[in-house]
Amino acid sequence: MSARCPALLIAAPASGQGKTTVTAALARLHSRQGRRVRVFKCGPDFLDPHWHQLASGAPVHSLDGWMTGAADVDARLHAAAQESDLILIEGVMGLFDGTPSAADLAQRLNLPVLAVFDASAMASTLGALAYGLVHYQPGLRWAGVLANRVASTHHAQLLQAGMRDPALWQGALARVTLGDGPSLLPERHLGLVAAHELGDALERLDAAADALSQTPLGQRTMAQWQQWSVDFAAPGAAQGLEGIDSAIGPWLQGRTVAVARDAAFSFIYPANLDCLEAMGARLAFFSPLAGEGLPACDAVWLPGGYPELHAHALMANQPVQADLRAHWAAGKPLWAECGGMVALCEGITDRDGQFAPLWGLLPGRAVLQPRLAGLGMQQLSTDAGVLRGHTFHYSRLESTVPVLTRSSRPGQPPEPGKGEALYQHGSLVASYFHAWFASNPKAVATWLGGSVPA
């Protein structure tokens, strides 16, 4: 049985074209008109979803044919279609980048595709680029083209005149700014600044929504949106990921897992929290930045984030540092992921060579790099099987802690010196690897001290 709902995949020829701004603006435009909007993000991403959640008022989940799996994609979209007026999906990188790509998702699900172009430095050539994108992969369902960062009405007219198919034109969006900033949604080294870090985040979204409301895309009626409806099929009998044991059992029943959650530890997939609760865990959130100590718990998860931006505030919270050390000394499980691992190091050296001390539970130091030190999909072999996920970080770890194993590219075996190291220091397990818990709940439950059958 299928569920029918208007939907749109917002894509682009490359990163940096404005997909996130357009997606969030469209979500905000419709949600403030009282419509129920659900937004999804293709591929692994922690930052863009913060903006989409603020714009839509609903949780934002990731969709990826490899990391999350087709069954998970189908189940989430089918459920969203049953309760929503509109579904928006932001693509990842360029439309045809990656395996599987956003285009592959669109073709499999018959999603209408909107291509967003940064047109700030072009005119009629937009038509040639749009023509190539539209005809590159036969079988895609096209909603149209939106020109972004357009300078003037005359500029928009030049762009529109270059279109081979005038019916694809969805308008021109002027460059939207707020105050003196060069960008509406500011960025830093890992991507966009998260919405919860900006006091005027909603004002920024409203400015983008107001601008979008002047375009043909923003002026579409719901009757016109119905032309872009999609039948989202109920997930089939096949569950989980090929070659992966993704069955969920009550392996964390009766156990409390403390989860750090604030601006320093914000890289959390909502689906990972759902997975922990599905295994029976009670979640206890705490904010080291707010001076909170460690809640009473059986295990700790320190997610990724920006400890390097908050090193002094983290060090100022001596009680939580003592709590974590006592937790570890008692042999209780602690899983630290990327930024969470960095926070547990002796300290971090920034790009200017300045060293900032951190909690010192994990021997070693992190060093920020001028370029990405890790990026892409990864899988991690554990005693409980293979866990899927990804990596994205600018620092590297210098540590003498033993390496249990290393992550590897999808479908590839681990290689010495490549991939992300999985460290173990007593009851502490840590890595730059970001895990998608539902790909192997048993492995996650094992790290968190659950009762997992052999």
- Mind listing the pLDDT tens digit for each residue in 411-430? 898 888 789 999 999 999 99
72-81, 258-267, 392-401: which has the minimum mean pLDDT?
Answer: 392-401
**Could you tell me the two tokens for 355?**
């060293």
Does the residue 251 lie in any domain? no
- Assign residue 132 a region: left if phi > 0, alpha if psi is -120 to 50, beta otherwise? alpha
Does the residue 219 lie in any domain? yes
Does the residue 250 lie in any domain? no
Mean pLDDT of the chain: 91
Tell whether 282 and 386 lie within a shared domain: yes
Query: Is 195 or 3 the better-scoring residue by pLDDT?
Result: 3
Contact 184, 25 (CB under 8 A): no
Tell whether the model's pLDDT for residue 57 goes beyond 80.
yes
Total domains in the fold of the chain: 2
Give the pLDDT band of residue 61 (cuts 50, 70, 90).
very high
Relative orientation angle of helices 153-161 and 125-136, to the nearest 10 degrees: 50
172-181, 235-244, 271-280: which has the minimum mean pLDDT?
Answer: 235-244
Total length of the chain: 454
Give the pLDDT band of residue 40 (cuts 50, 70, 90).
very high
- What would the mean pLDDT of 172-180 be, rounded to a whole number? 76
CATH of the domain at 59: 3.40.50.300
pLDDT cut 90: percent of the chain above it: 77
Tell whether 164 and 264 lie within a shared domain: no
What pLDDT shows up at residue 234?
Answer: 85
What pLDDT shows up at residue 418?
Answer: 87
Can 338 be counted among the known catalytic residues?
yes
What pLDDT shows up at residue 387?
Answer: 95
Tell whether 263 and 369 lie within a shared domain: yes
- What would the mean pLDDT of 159-171 be, rounded to a whole number? 96
Tell whether 154 and 295 lie within a shared domain: no
Contact 286, 260 (CB under 8 A): yes
Residue 356's Cβ-side half-sphere holds a number of Cα atoms within 13 Å equal to 20
188-192, 326-330, 363-367: which has the minimum mean pLDDT?
Answer: 188-192
Tell whether the model's pLDDT for residue 51 goes beyond 50.
yes
Give the pLDDT band of residue 454 (cuts 50, 70, 90).
confident
Tell whether 209 and 263 lie within a shared domain: no
- What would the mean pLDDT of 1-24 be, rounded to a whole number? 94
Tell whether the model's pLDDT for residue 97 goes beyond 80.
yes
What pLDDT shows up at residue 364?
Answer: 95
| Burial label, 374 (beta-carbon count in 10 A; 0-12, 13-18, 19+) | buried
What pLDDT shows up at residue 183?
Answer: 62
Of residues 266, 264, 263, 320, the one with CA closest to residue 291: 320
**Could you tell me the two tokens for 229?**
């409806």
Q: Which of 5, 297, 338, 345 is an active site residue?
A: 338
Tell whether 172 and 270 lie within a shared domain: no
Looking up tokens 């939106």 gives 146
- What would the mean pLDDT of 48-62 be, rounded to a whole number? 93
Tell whether the model's pLDDT for residue 303 goes beyond 60.
yes
What pLDDT shows up at residue 60?
Answer: 95
| Burial label, 261 (beta-carbon count in 10 A; 0-12, 13-18, 19+) | buried
Cite the beta strand spans of 106-190 per DSSP E.
112-118, 141-150, 169-174, 187-188
What pLDDT shows up at residue 47?
Answer: 83
What pLDDT shows up at residue 178?
Answer: 67
Give the pLDDT band of residue 256 (cuts 50, 70, 90).
very high
Does the residue 249 lie in any domain? no
Domain that holds residue 315: 256-447
Tell whether 85 and 220 lie within a shared domain: yes
Tell whether 267 and 227 lie within a shared domain: no
Widest CA span in the chain = 70
Tell whether 24 and 144 lie within a shared domain: yes
Tell whether the model's pLDDT for residue 238 goes beyond 50.
no
329 Cβ contact partners less than 8 Å away, ≥ 6 residues apart: none
62-71, 173-182, 306-315, 354-363: which has the minimum mean pLDDT?
Answer: 173-182
What pLDDT shows up at residue 184?
Answer: 63
What pLDDT shows up at residue 182?
Answer: 54
What pLDDT shows up at residue 188?
Answer: 47
Does the residue 339 lie in any domain? yes
Tell whether 160 and 272 lie within a shared domain: no
Residues forming a β-bridge with 169: 145
Does the residue 394 lie in any domain? yes
What pLDDT shows up at residue 187?
Answer: 54
Contact 148, 154 (CB under 8 A): no
CA atoms of 266 and 264, how far apart (whole Å): 6
What pLDDT shows up at residue 25?
Answer: 95
Does the residue 105 lie in any domain? yes
What pLDDT shows up at residue 180?
Answer: 55
Does the residue 247 lie in any domain? no
Measured over the CA atoms of residue 320, residue 321, residue 326 and residue 328, the dihedral's sign is positive
CA atoms of 336 and 352, how far apart (whole Å): 26
Tell whether 133 and 219 lie within a shared domain: yes
What would the DSSP string read from start to end of 32-70?
TTT--EEEEEESS-SSHHHHHHHHHSS--EEE-IIIIIH
Burial state string for 189-215 with b = 16 or more CB within 10 A and e = fewer than 16: bbebbbbeebeebeebbbbbbebbeeb
295 Cβ contact partners less than 8 Å away, ≥ 6 residues apart: 256, 258, 284, 286
Number of alpha helices (DSSP H) and beta strands (DSSP E) in the chain: 13, 24
Tell whether the model's pLDDT for residue 134 goes beyond 70.
yes
What pLDDT shows up at residue 417?
Answer: 79
Tell whether 207 and 299 lie within a shared domain: no
pTM value?
Answer: 0.91
Give the pLDDT band of residue 46 (cuts 50, 70, 90).
confident
CATH of the domain at 353: 3.40.50.880
